[in-house]
Amino acid sequence: MKKILLLLGGLTVHFLAGAQSPTVISAKSQPLKLKGEAPKNLPPVITWQSPGTDYLQVKQPAFTVSACVQSFEALKEHRVVVNGKTFGQQRGMKRLVCGEQVSQEVLLQAGDNVLQIMATNSVGTTTSTVRHIVYEAKKDTVIGQKRVALIVANSNYEKHPLKNPVNDGRSVREQFEKLGFTVTLLENLKLRETDQALEKFYSELDSNNVGLFYYAGHGIMADNQNFIQPTDADPSTEVDARYVCYSLERVVARMKTANPNGSNLVFWDACRNNPYRSWTRSAGQPVYTTINPPVGTLIVYATEPGKTASDGNENGLFTSELVNNIKEPNLDIFELIDRIDRGLEKRGFQQPPYIEGRLRGKLILNPVIKP
């Protein structure tokens, strides 16, 4: 029989022509080298490139995993597995001197991350050795971005008081804090206090944050604008509202200026019993108007134009569904809104949320990589 010598990462494996090859190949740190005729019935061999060591510490959540894969048979696919979750499952790979390259950007969770690569050809699948990456996340960051939230909840109006906004504010504060937001909750604000709170909020935003503003209370549509109604505001005409209330359009514009490259999100649970509908509008006209927010900003209203939002028992209906669903892992914001809509429908309420604007890419409020 003809003898074949295979050098695999410093490990010498002998073959005899016609004899069965080993069923397990353990990939080491060196590429595969051959002396003699190459055998045709081996699974792939994986050589790590990045991370280059068994343990690595990083300060950013995004990391590019790469390796070189050698195979005598045509490769079918490869996959990168982080904490038991697959990132990428591809067939086309770049040719290198050592074989074909696996390259995949992955999202790390805070703390220890376990990495492996799997490659498959017609003979079988090879799983790489394990590598660990420790992501040292800052306390105020989630997926690399600072998260800042301001909650304003107004209930104690002299005229037309509301039952649930303060309860709503406290409920969403608890959830936002669990999602990594630095949260400020303020209740029953007058106009001057509203202005001061928002100015402080804008100053806390940087150029690439997730900025979130949540408002529960009376909202007014006056002079083709949407307004937060402070607890001391009692406008007698639409023109007066411009001077004694705070414009939502102004909130959106200032968030965009303070956080131009990040994601700005507004939850507006303010389409409630509007005491001023008799000013100039007939009963069928909407209680707020379109803002057309800039790219990077999304406004989520509690209901559609022309409809009022129910106050509920302990929480407003919109906020109760928001609290129930926002904790769900790995939901994109639009999936979250759909969950809220379906939850209200199941409860028998025709109160679909209404959105304006668009973000850059996905916004996942509760990103979780499951082991």
Tell me the two tokens of residue 283: 């009963």
The helices-and-strands tally (H runs, E runs) of the chain is 6, 23
Domain boundaries along the sequence of the chain: 41-135, 141-358
- pLDDT, tens digit, for every residue of 167-222? 999 999 999 998 989 999 999 999 999 999 999 999 999 887 899 999 999 888 77
Residue 339 identity:
R
Phi and psi torsions of 244, nearest 5°: -115, 0
Q: Model-level pTM greater than 0.95?
A: no
| Contacts for 240 with CB less than 8 Å, ≥ 6 apart | none
Residue 134 CB neighbours (<10 A)? 15
- Please tell me the predicted confidence (pLDDT) of residue 94: 53
pLDDT at 17 over 60: no
Q: Check: CB of residue 268 under 8 Å from CB of residue 248.
A: yes
With beta carbons less than 8 A apart as the criterion, state whether 55 and 134 touch: yes
CATH topology classification for 41-135: Immunoglobulin-like (2.60.40)
In angstroms, rounded to a whole number, what is the distance separating the alpha carbons of residues 245 and 288? 14
Q: What does the DSSP 8-state code read for residue 289? A: -
CATH class in words for 141-358: alpha beta
